[in-house]
Amino acid sequence: MTTQITMPALSPTMEEGNLAKWHVKAGDKIEPGQVIAEIETDKATMEVEAVDEGVIEEILVPEGSQGVKVNTPIATLSGEGDAAKPAPKQQAKAEPSAAKQQPAEATSKRAPAQQTAQTTPSERVLASPLARRLAEQGGIDLSGLNGSGPNGRIVKADIEAAAKSPRAAPQQQAAQQSREVSKPAPTQAPPPATLESYGIRNGSYDLVPLDLMRKTIAKRMTASFRDVPHFPLTIDLEIDALLKARGEINKRFADNGVKISVNDMCIKAAALALKLVPEANASYTPDGIALHHHADVAVAVAIPHGLITPIVWAAETKGLAQISAEMGDLALRARERKLKPEEFQGGTFSISNMGMLGIKSFASIINEPHGMIMSIGAGEKRPIVKNDALAIATMMTVTVTCDHRVVDGALGAAFLKAFKSFLEDPMAMLL
């Protein structure tokens, strides 16, 4: 029996991927769990394992193909399951001897019942994923078609032939009317503006095609900024004590390979603040507010053509040295696009630090379903007032963008107050 291997959905938001590499070729025998291909998603390159055993009949999508839609057939597999199943004669031999001695008349009476059971309407129609999609789009009933593929499988050609037949018109018309009734009238969107329409001369620029990562970033950030009612809260922190503590830790444990960064300390402080103000460690859902058990902190890492947010899971339970080691490993593999989906999908809170780039302050767009995202600016010497006198201190500006459905102003302020207490008194993080 021939089956199709389709482009898998390697993440909940994946709609298409690039087929980076095949590890098999036509004629190769494969087994469940064997790596057969590498797929590039918007975030990482991941290996695809075989689900069934059999022989690769044909590679439908060559390696290097871009923008392959999820569920698109990419190869055909000749399964060996039929060889493992006993043939009808073998099944007859396997029956008890008493069954063999039944009269021929009884056997003949039983046969129609068996045939009826085999052809009940509830039996699943054998059709390729592409044929099912085309049938759904065209309003064609698969149960009334005879497939021309292997074992009677309905394929694309059968759908195209059915669409041209006279009897398909009433089905298509009914399906179209049903869709028109069930769907609200679409809002007429203006066509996308071209650069030429803004007065930019054609040929005066180079157009770089969008890769999967940039497409996904554009789509998700547009949806978040448009659909999430958000607002920023900003606070200035004095970090001289933090810098001193960081220097002492790195000096004392240098022989152990420990090198703590300000970002590592911010991750720890944010995690502890989320546990101190648990209502802020939350996500909005249509069914209610989800209060998370752990502070799973996603940290933005810049990579070519975009960014990715690897996660420090249960950060409130980890020491600074462990957080530092995990972030170093995650950031390295993120830039090489070797992260596993479970290492960057999920989380309860986000941090974006642009202080090392000299950015003083900024406000990030919420990474749903997180209830907040923190934007960390550069630490710099500033004049401040201490005890009614002018003084110099190292200050850092931090902004949290809050989802107002989950975190209102008072709750966001309580979180920032807790975060400030940990950063301005680093010893509190040890309690």
List the catalytic residues. Answer: 404
Pairing verdict, β 16-22 and 65-69: antiparallel
CB count in 10 Å sphere of residue 398: 23
Q: What is the Cα–Cα distance from 205 to 34, expressed in whole angstroms?
A: 46
For 229, how many CA atoms within 13 A lie in the half-sphere containing its CB?
7
Q: What is the Cα–Cα distance from 390 to 294, expressed in whole angstroms?
A: 41
Q: Are 299 and 267 in contact (CB under 8 A)?
A: yes
Distances (CA, A) of 84 to 53, 87, 155: 11, 9, 26
Q: What is the Cα–Cα distance from 101 to 88, expressed in whole angstroms?
A: 18
Q: Which residues of 188-223 are buried (b: 16+ CB within 10 A; e: fewer)?
A: eeeeeeeeeeeeeeeeeeeeeeebbbebbbeeeeee
Q: What is the Cα–Cα distance from 243 to 379, expressed in whole angstroms?
A: 10
For 100, how many CA atoms within 13 A lie in the half-sphere containing its CB?
8
Q: Residue 22 is encoded by which pair of tokens?
A: 């095949």
